[in-house]
Amino acid sequence: MASDFQIIKPPWENPGVRAYLVTALSEDNERVTFDGQSCEGSKFRSLLEQKIHPLHPVSWIRQVHGNNIVRLPVDDHPEADGSFTTQKGVVCEVITADCLPIVFSDFAGTRVGIVHAGRRGLYLEIIARMVAVFGVPPGEIMVWIGPGISRENYVISKEICDQFLSLSSEYSSVFHQVRETEYGMDLYQTAKIQLSGLGIPQKNISGAEWDTFSDDRFHSARRNHEQAGRMATVVWMEKSSRL
């Protein structure tokens, strides 16, 4: 078991709202996945919950690269790629290893949420679904975009590029051609375009400054493939934190 987690925090000044991206290595220096299927993953889920000390057990949603968002707390592990809550002590989480963890809070600290936003989730407009269920004006929403893969290291097909361009020509700025039928895609910029289009001011958005592929602090599915670990990003409302 790791002696501690490595964490990154949003640059927020929002009393009572806690958010962290968490990475961990096992005693054997293996990458931790935070999955619920392996013994190691389950152990680290429990260790993280002990650190957070939530009022309700963490639901640990079952991510499917879709756009479903659930309101917490719930008693099971729903199939979803995002969650939100208006209750203190209820933890919203996602697991990532190149996709974007995007954290939401209102300025009043009355609700928090998070989405797992990879290429598929962004195409399915999971950010818009979160803003719709959040229930406050967009100008009152704070957003932190956690570590994801950079445009230089996220190469996709022309077909995927065309799919986004069919939604809006504004997405032309997020792609650059690297080969005849391959393009680098900027997930960060894609998310920012969607957030801006929903009315969230640029000054309310932070993060989006890392590359999980090239930075060894982070886990990356494209870099490490089947051996890749996973990062947990959590957000909740309470007055104190143990991390």
pLDDT value at position 28?
81
Residue 101 has pLDDT above 70, yes or no: yes
Taking only the tens place, the pLDDT of each residue in 176-223 is 999 999 999 999 999 999 999 999 999 999 999 999 999 999 999 999
User: pLDDT band at 169, cuts 50/70/90?
Assistant: very high
Q: What is the mean pLDDT of residues 6-32?
A: 90
Superfamily of domain 6-150+198-237: CNF1/YfiH-like putative cysteine hydrolases (3.60.140.10)
Q: How many CB atoms within 10 Å of residue 205?
A: 18
How far apart CA 140 and CA 25 sit, in angstroms, is 37
pLDDT, residue 158, reads 97
Digit-coded pLDDT (tens) for 26-82: 888 888 999 888 888 999 999 999 998 899 999 999 999 999 999 999 989 999 999
Domain boundaries, the chain: 6-150+198-237, 151-185
- The whole-angstrom separation of Cα 138 and Cα 45 is 32
pTM of the model: 0.96
**Distance between CA 91 and CA 185 in Å, rounded?**
31
